[in-house]
């Protein structure tokens, strides 16, 4: 006796409450590592010694938000996250300590508005010159809305002051290019003690919580640090510290495979060429 045929299984409707990506794009972003080699920096932002690329920022913003939502970068530099937010139709706020970088960021954002034309109409991209440690007061004074997503990259401790860094040597010989962020005592890149630096950095991110919507994500792009023959696990330490405030959901490794290799310790000691960053994903959960 012939068995009755089973009715075809109905596919479950795909619903997406987080972003506007389709299933294939969503799945691709779930990969735990990715390669991103940023384009060459434009001349108007070369002064900043450690800018992260708008192209990378846009990928994260498009995954963790929907059009019209609000992005915050409390350490905005020359405005990469705000430019990326404009490009994908999101509102944004940024805070930058160095007034020179804040001025550059405002000009870069305005140039981006002009380039985007009508597609940027009605979108906010507000850059405030101030201390990220005062983020709640600064944004509250501006009546800023609650934030849907934080994307940021902090100073990698005081490594810009390291005299032996190859890239820093090149910048020292190039007029008009900054070697480090600023001389301000509020600048975390000037804190020499690692434990004190970590405490202040974690405190800044923890104190953002009143600004965030429930279930908002935070992405912090950071790197472990090598200094005087020792590794300081900044990414891991920061993840541990902030896990008391936010839920640590995951990490993605940003790999760069177009960097020149240097013969560190060749013939005597193991010293890696480190071309990866940790993109730590946190969530603001009750």
Average pLDDT over residues 209-215: 98
Give per-residue pLDDT as tens, 20-39: 999 999 999 999 999 998 87
Domains and CATH numbers, the chain: 34-283 (3.40.50.150)
Residues 6+ apart with CB under 8 A from 282: 217, 218, 219, 220, 242, 246, 247, 248, 249
Lowest mean pLDDT among 191-205, 247-261, 262-276: 262-276
Give per-residue pLDDT as tens, 255-267: 988 888 988 888 9
- Alpha carbons 81 and 103: distance in angstroms, whole number: 15
Average pLDDT, the chain: 88
Band (185; pLDDT cuts 50, 70, 90): confident
């Amino acid at each position: 006796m012939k068995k009755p045929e089973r009715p075809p299984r109905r596919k479950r409707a795909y619903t997406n409450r987080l972003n506007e990506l389709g299933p294939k794009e969503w799945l691709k972003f779930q990969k735990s590592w990715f390669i991103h080699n940023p384009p060459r920096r434009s001349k108007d932002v070369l002064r900043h010694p450690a800018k992260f690329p708008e192209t990378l920022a846009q990928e994260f913003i498009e995954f963790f938000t929907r059009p019209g939502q609000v992005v915050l970068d409390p350490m905005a530099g020359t405005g990469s996250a705000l430019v990326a937010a404009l490009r994908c139709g999101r509102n944004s706020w940024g805070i930058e300590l160095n007034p020179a970088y804040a001025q550059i960021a405002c000009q870069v954002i305005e140039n981006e508005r002009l380039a985007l034309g009508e597609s940027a109409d009605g979108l906010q991209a507000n850059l405030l010159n101030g201390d990220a440690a005062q983020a709640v007061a600064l944004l509250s004074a501006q009546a800023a809305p609650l934030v849907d997503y934080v994307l940021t990259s902090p100073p990698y401790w005081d490594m810009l002051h390291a005299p032996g860094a190859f890239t820093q040597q090149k910048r020292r010989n190039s007029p008009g290019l900054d070697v480090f962020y600023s001389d301000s005592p509020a600048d975390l890149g000037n804190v020499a003690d690692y434990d004190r630096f970590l405490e202040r950095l974690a405190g800044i991110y923890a104190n953002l919580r009143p600004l965030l919507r429930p279930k908002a994500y935070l992405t912090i792009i950071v790197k472990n640090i090598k200094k005087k023959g020792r590794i300081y696990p900044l990414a891991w330490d920061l993840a541990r510290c902030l896990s008391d405030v936010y839920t640590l959901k995951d990490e993605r490794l940003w790999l760069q495979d177009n960097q020149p290799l240097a013969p560190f310790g060749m013939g005597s000691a193991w010293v890696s060429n480190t071309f990866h960053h940790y993109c730590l994903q946190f969530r603001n959960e009750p």
